[in-house]
Amino acid sequence: MRSLSNLSLQLARNSTTANQKVVRAGEDPETSEDIQAFYSLIMQQDFANFAYLEQGRVIHETIKTTLESFQ
């Protein structure tokens, strides 16, 4: 369970890192002209954001289900 306790923090870091890479790539003229590399960064950003949000949703649903089971 130790790895799962840090999962939210790790996913948040991955999401932040992916967002920063996209911003830096947009500012760099060499990367902004390379459509394939920029597309790859955008996909990494989307997947990182999705993973973070999905993990938050799963935790919310788990807590909700637990609380409903006591009623």
Confidence at 41, pLDDT banded by 50, 70, 90? confident
**Considering the domain boundaries, does residue 6 fall inside one?**
no
**Considering the domain boundaries, does residue 32 fall inside one?**
yes
Domain ranges, residue 51: 13-69
**Considering the domain boundaries, does residue 55 fall inside one?**
yes
d(CA 51, CA 47) in angstroms, rounded, equals 6
Q: In the 8-state DSSP scheme, what is residue 28?
A: -
**Considering the domain boundaries, does residue 48 fall inside one?**
yes
**Considering the domain boundaries, does residue 5 fall inside one?**
no
Q: State mean pLDDT over 29-40.
A: 74
Determine the pLDDT at residue 32.
59
Q: In the 8-state DSSP scheme, what is residue 70?
A: T
**Considering the domain boundaries, does residue 54 fall inside one?**
yes
Number of folded domains in the chain?
Answer: 1
Q: Is 31 exposed, middle or buried, given 0-12, 13-18 or 19+ CB atoms closer than 10 A?
A: middle
**Considering the domain boundaries, does residue 2 fall inside one?**
no
**Considering the domain boundaries, does residue 53 fall inside one?**
yes
Using DSSP's 3-state secondary structure scheme, residue 60 falls into helix
pTM over 0.75, yes/no? no
